[in-house]
Amino acid sequence: MPPSEPSPNQPPALTQGDFVRLLMRNEPALRAYSRSLLPDWYLVDEVIQEASVTLWEKFDQLRDEAGFLPWAKVVVRFKCLSIIDRLRRDRHVFSDGVLELLAEEAEMFDAEERERSMQALRSCLEGFSPPHQELLLAPYSGEGRVTMLAEQAGKSANALYKLLGRLREKLAECIENRLQKEAL
Amino acid sequence: MNPNELIQRYLHGQATDAEVAELDRLLVIDRDLRRKLIVEMGIDAGLCEIARERASQPSVAAPRRSVWFSWRPLAAAAALVLFVGGWMIGSSARKTTPISEKQEAVDDGVALLTQAVDASWKGAHQPRAGSILSAGRLQLTSGLAQLEFYSGARVILEGPADLELVSTNRAVCHSGRIRAWVPPQARGFQVVSPEFELIDLGTEFGMEVGGTTASKVEVFDGEVELHPAGAGAPSSAPLRLLEGEGIAWASSGQRTDIRANASGFPSFDDVRSRSDQRAKERYAAWQQWNRTIANDPRVAVRYDFEKLDGRLIDSGPQHVDGSIIGCEVSNGRWAEKGALEFKRPSDRVRVNIPGSYDTLTLSAWIRLDTIPGRMQGLLLTDGYERGCPHWQIAATGQLRLGLRVAAPDGALKATGYASPELFQPRRIGVWTFVATTYDNRAGKVRHFLNGREMSTESLVGRQTLRIGKADIGNWGLPIANGSWPVRNFVGRIDEMTLWNVALTESELLEIYQNTRP
């Protein structure tokens, strides 16, 4: 049978509206996934933009909604690897072998697990003092934000990054404890 | 610095090149650390999401908008995608490439590095003779390198030089001296300098950027066309230079006609003879090392692939020669060095290696000539009983030691210890030193590439290894009668050694240094 002929078992074709909805719903997961392969958030933005266009171009190949995320991950992974290849000449980035291994590891995070981790993160973050919360969010609140906070506090940026590192470790511990308790 | 600190520095974009390299090395061998990094990345993504939410709440004093807030809101993104999509439907330009094509191995190379004499490169990526080069900057700090573009153009780089490969037929010379030979099939080969764009009309020429004059071109044979570039260049007609002619640009923009002097640039013969000379020296050094290592008490079996007359001679203490079936006698890491080329599914070397080993190192110099895609045998025992090692390259490009262990119910279960995916397209056709160590006492299997540890794994179930009848480069006589899976190695092998100890990284690095091409 030629592949174009509709079969009675085939679900109805996905529409443009479906695409927008699926993209919006899965965007946080795709951003998190590409973050695990890329050295910074600028590149994540670039990859997600490029990937959205590719996904749209090839959307007619998608058969059902459940296939969206795995398929999108393949596209995102491909974009990440090609962007990293471009970076490779100018700066040190992870080797191909490590990227493969990281992608494999990141693959194991499903949407449900991500949702639970996100909830744990929200409540753990609330447990920190407001200045510490501000510092934890500073790296995502604008370029040079950490340095600015350091200037305000009269400390070196380096010292503040060290504090940030310790806070992040505490945060990770808190999240892990919370998830473990849930699992019991 | 402890691994957690490294991760934090990496996350916040503070890690230096050396720290990224260190983290990379640790990540290869430590799965827990990889998980830790992925978890941290997840937290990073979560915090980024929360920061975006808070920034969009008007009640909270919004910090200066950052680049990632400027990432256009999703609705706009979706609208744009719809627009692009709609346009594509309108112009019926939608591609129908199947998704599976993404997974097909792709070669994004534009040129091949054919010779490298005393070459050292800027940056972490150090290409070697045989390496495929992708588009991008190639910075040679010293030495000579010869490139073959896929279009057929050949270029010599003399260090220090900075050449940017753009495509199979175009390069940008940022600085340094190059000599190019362009056969008819590569006509139109372009080299760009800050002052002009050179289009070759089938020729040989030399070019220098950033020397005593800003740029200079000399034509040794044939003809080139120069299109002045840059701000100072009016839309003048292209200049044509014929054999023996040359032009020098001063930084002021002043042009002077000069005479071409072919001997002022390294010639292809120079590169060849210097590279041959270097190879002779390396080979002579290897021969000397080869004589001493045969008497090393750590050697159990050693095949140096030197005299290949139907037998593969074991220069180790036991003299267990192998017999060569099929295989073409070929040359190895150096032109004079013997090697066997494995190509057809029947090609193999039959060996029968006595003894049992609680510690064992398998090492070999190999040149894999095909993208893996299926298992390829390096050294495989005929059977697959307990203690029979299967040393091979997996379909994924991983170096793998396959062993069978007894499951709780007594049945034998296949298990394997694999390295990361080492044999990527970039490593195809390049001589590579692979080694795997087995240590039953310490309970570890480790894989090494060019002397560097790539992975370490704990043994599942302890066993003493024995080899007996086996194949090098194939798996010929497996357990079942009748047909068997094709596992032949495709490429060349020019050295293989079995050591009765589990060599350490420093020992293997030393061996690598003594034997590298």
pLDDT tens figures, B406-446:
766 666 777 889 888 888 776 788 899 999 999 999 999 99
Residues B503 and B395 in one domain: yes
Of the candidates A130, A129, A170, A163, the residue with the CA atom closest to the CA atom of residue A146: A163
- Residue B179, SS3? strand
Closest by Cβ to A143, choosing from B67, B426, B454 = B67
Residues B296 and B430 in one domain: yes
Contact A78 B102 (CB under 8 A): yes
**B468 vs B427: which has the higher pLDDT:** B468
- Residue owning tokens 């510092």: A135
Contact B47 A136 (CB under 8 A): yes
Span A71-121, pLDDT tens digits: 898 899 889 988 888 888 777 889 888 888 888 888 777 777 788 888 899
Domain termination residue (choose one: B215, B236, B266): B266
Residues B297 and B252 in one domain: no
Strand stretches in B122-254, DSSP E: 132-134, 136-149, 154-167, 170-182, 190-192, 196-209, 215-228, 239-242, 245-249
Cα→Cα distances B90→B85, B87, B93, B408, Å: 9, 5, 8, 64
Whole-angstrom distance, CA of residue B28 vs CA of residue B454: 6
What is the ipTM metric for this complex? 0.84
The H helix count followed by the E strand count for chain A is 8, 0
pLDDT of residue B62: 35
Among B7, B17, B48, B83, the residue to mutate for chain A (most A Cβ within 10 A): B48
Whole-angstrom distance, CA of residue B395 vs CA of residue B217: 48
Residues B291 and B249 in one domain: no
In-domain check, residue B100 = no
Contact B97 A39 (CB under 8 A): no
Say which range, A8-12, B324-328, B367-371, B429-433, has the weakest mean pLDDT: A8-12
Residues B148 and B9 in one domain: no
pLDDT band (50, 70, 90) for residue B56: low
Q: State the average pLDDT for chain A.
A: 82
Contacts of B40 in chain A (CB under 8 A): 168, 172
Which residues share a beta bridge with B246?
Answer: B218, B258
Contacts of B420 in chain A (CB under 8 A): 97-98, 100-101
pLDDT band (50, 70, 90) for residue B91: very low
Closest by Cβ to A100, choosing from B66, B108, B421 = B421
Range of the domain at B28: 3-54
Cα→Cα distances B4→B9, B11, B35, B360, B416, Å: 9, 11, 12, 34, 30
CB pairs under 8 A between A and B: 197
CATH of residue B295's domain is 2.60.120.200
In-domain check, residue B229 = yes
Radius of gyration of chain A (CA): 20
Question: What distance in Å separates residue A8's CA from the closest CA in chain B?
Answer: 23
Chain-centre distance for alpha carbon A83: 16
In-domain check, residue B93 = no
pLDDT of residue B102: 29
Indicate the burial class of B117 (C-beta count within 10 angstroms; 0-12, 13-18, 19 or more).
Answer: buried
Among A31, A38, A75, A98, the residue to mutate for chain B (most B Cβ within 10 A): A98
Closest by Cβ to A164, choosing from B12, B66, B71 = B12
Whole-angstrom distance, CA of residue B176 vs CA of residue B194: 12
One-letter identity of residue B317: P
Domain boundaries, chain A: 16-109, 112-183
pLDDT of residue B253: 74
Chain-centre distance for alpha carbon A108: 13
Span B122-134, pLDDT tens digits: 876 678 887 788 8
Asked if the model's pLDDT at residue A133 lies above 70, the reply is yes
pLDDT band (50, 70, 90) for residue B484: low
Peptide bond into B160 cis (omega under 30): yes
Asked if the model's pLDDT at residue B61 lies above 60, the reply is no
Query: b/e string for B389-419 if b means 16 or more Cβ within 10 A?
Result: bbbbbbeebbbbbbbbeeeeeeeeeeebbbb
CATH of residue B257's domain is 2.60.120.1440
Contacts of B134 in chain A (CB under 8 A): 85
Closest chain B residue to A176, measured at CA: B39
Domain A16-109 fold is: Rna Polymerase Sigma Factor; Chain: A (1.10.1740)
Say which range, A133-137, B236-240, B477-481, has the weakest mean pLDDT: B477-481
Contact B95 A58 (CB under 8 A): yes
Could you give the angle at the alpha carbon of B285 between the alpha carbons of B280 and B286, nearest 5°?
A: 95
Whole-angstrom distance, CA of residue B340 vs CA of residue B369: 13
With a CB-CB cutoff of 8 Å, which residues 138-177 of chain A face chain B?
A: 139-143, 145-146, 161, 164-165, 168-169, 171-172, 175-176
Closest chain B residue to A44, measured at CA: B68
Residues B249 and B298 in one domain: no
In-domain check, residue B103 = no
Which residues share a beta bridge with B222?
Answer: B203
Residues ≥6 apart with Cβ < 8 Å to A177: none
Residues B299 and B448 in one domain: yes
Asked if the model's pLDDT at residue B105 lies above 50, the reply is no
Q: Where are the alpha helices (DSSP H) in B241-334?
A: 268-293
- Residue B268, SS3? helix
Number of compact structural domains in chain B: 3
One-letter identity of residue B178: I
Contact B71 A90 (CB under 8 A): no
Contact B12 A146 (CB under 8 A): yes
Question: What distance in Å separates residue A7's CA from the closest CA in chain B?
Answer: 20
Residues B350 and B418 in one domain: yes
Whole-angstrom distance, CA of residue B440 vs CA of residue B53: 55
With a CB-CB cutoff of 8 Å, which residues 47-66 of chain A face chain B?
A: 48-49, 52-53, 56-61
Contact B81 A19 (CB under 8 A): yes
Closest chain A residue to B36, measured at CA: A172
Whole-angstrom distance, CA of residue B182 vs CA of residue B154: 6
* B94 close to A53: Cβ distance less than 8 angstroms: no
Residues B242 and B149 in one domain: yes
Contacts of A174 in chain B (CB under 8 A): none
- Residue owning tokens 């588009």: B135
Residues B159 and B250 in one domain: yes
Whole-angstrom distance, CA of residue A99 vs CA of residue A84: 10
Tokens of B138: 């190639």
